């Protein structure tokens, strides 16, 4: 692990008077991820509370498909978390957020093992022996980040090192989502935009890396002609993750039948008009039967996929940000572990 301060600039402006302290982490298979801690400009080192009996709570954020710590939709929630007393940190996936790609494996919906590495590191470096297990970690996932977080929560169950979770526009059923994105004008158009975004990002950052692959043929030259995520997942994501086809990858990435295994308080926000997973594909019955953590799936009539705008057109703001702040405040006010309080 190595760390350094990076000044945060976007269009030559500092973001909310915060600087980023970066920790670069190596994964067991030789890959690289990073944690970007948002710190006030006055701090000269990462804020740790090892000398306290109870460490300051942490708000961990997982961005969307090609997002990282500079994603626009994370700014408000990072600021809100800081106001509530959380230390805010963003997980940058393999190959994103200026992470060097050290292995052939890129990020995917199955990257919960990388999340485990990050969470274990946060606890190890933030908690003293006396405060072990007392620090609250609230994790928030957006779109693909929500998919990874959901997979982590249901696979870890009662052993989760994350204490509470907020999921924004998660895709619970990848098989149903693939069918949805291939039907109708607007879903097909959104599908096209998504595949252009992911192929453009991977080509821009790692084209030469995958062209030189000696283990797999990723058909890089064909990517510019793809019109759907399924085509990209068939050519790249599935074989990169060790699957023979996109369908097998979708089956493994889906969490819909195992939501009852989530054991920590979890709030999911979805929109009925989400072009990836509309209300008919939401696991409403499955959530209703959950007796553990995921007991609340909030569905709005509008909101699209990671949209949720409210207010007048000349001054819109995000309902999801307001909901996150309410949830984070509630978690911060709990006495003891949220996992115990919600049982």
Residues annotated as part of the active site: 143, 274, 305
Strands 9-10 and 32-40: unpaired
Q: What is the DSSP letter of 13?
A: E
Distance (Å, rounded) from C-alpha 325 to C-alpha 182?
A: 35
**CA nearest to 285, candidates 312, 311, 316, 256:** 256
Do 121 and 27 form a contact (C-beta atoms < 8 A)?
no
Contact, 305 vs 143, CB < 8 A? Answer: yes
The 8-class DSSP code of residue 86 comes to P
Tokens of 335: 């006495």
**CA proximity to 253, closest of 146, 180, 337:** 146
**What's the burial of 322, exposed, middle or buried (CB within 10 Å: 0-12/13-18/19+)?**
middle
Pairing of strands 137-142, 164-168: parallel
Biggest alpha carbon–alpha carbon distance for the chain: 58
């Amino acid at each position: 692990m190595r760390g350094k301060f990076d000044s945060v600039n976007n269009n030559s402006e500092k973001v909310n008077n915060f600087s980023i302290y970066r920790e670069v982490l190596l994964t067991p298979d030789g890959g690289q991820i990073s944690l970007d801690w948002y710190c006030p400009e006055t701090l000269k080192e990462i804020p740790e509370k090892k000398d306290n009996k109870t460490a300051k709570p942490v708000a961990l954020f997982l961005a969307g498909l090609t997002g990282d710590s500079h994603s626009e939709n994370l700014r408000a929630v990072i600021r809100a978390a800081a106001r509530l007393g959380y230390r805010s940190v963003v997980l940058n996936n393999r190959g994103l957020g200026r992470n060097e790609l050290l292995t052939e494996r890129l990020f995917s919906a199955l990257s919960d093992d990388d999340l485990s590495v990050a969470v274990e590191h946060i606890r190890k470096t933030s908690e003293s022996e006396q405060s072990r297990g007392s620090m609250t970690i609230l994790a928030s996932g957006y779109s693909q980040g929500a998919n990874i977080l959901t997979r982590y929560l249901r696979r870890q169950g009662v052993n989760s090192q994350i204490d509470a979770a907020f999921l924004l526009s998660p895709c619970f059923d990848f098989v149903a989502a693939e069918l949805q994105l291939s039907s109708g004008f607007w879903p097909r158009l959104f599908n096209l935009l998504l595949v252009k975004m992911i192929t453009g990002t991977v080509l821009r950052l790692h084209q030469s890396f995958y062209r030189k692959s000696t283990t797999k043929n990723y058909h890089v030259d064909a990517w510019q002609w793809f019109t759907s995520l399924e085509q990209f997942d068939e050519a790249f994501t599935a074989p990169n993750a060790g699957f023979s086809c996109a369908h097998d990858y979708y089956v493994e990435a889906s969490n819909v039948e195992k939501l009852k295994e989530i054991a920590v308080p979890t709030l999911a926000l979805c929109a009925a008009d989400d072009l990836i997973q509309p209300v008919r594909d939401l696991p409403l019955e499955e959530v209703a039967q959950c007796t553990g953590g995921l007991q609340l799936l909030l569905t709005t009539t509008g909101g699209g996929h990671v949209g949720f705008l409210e207010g007048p057109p000349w001054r819109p703001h995000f309902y999801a940000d307001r909901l996150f702040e309410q949830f984070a405040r509630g978690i911060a006010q709990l006495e003891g572990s949220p996992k115990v309080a919600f049982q």
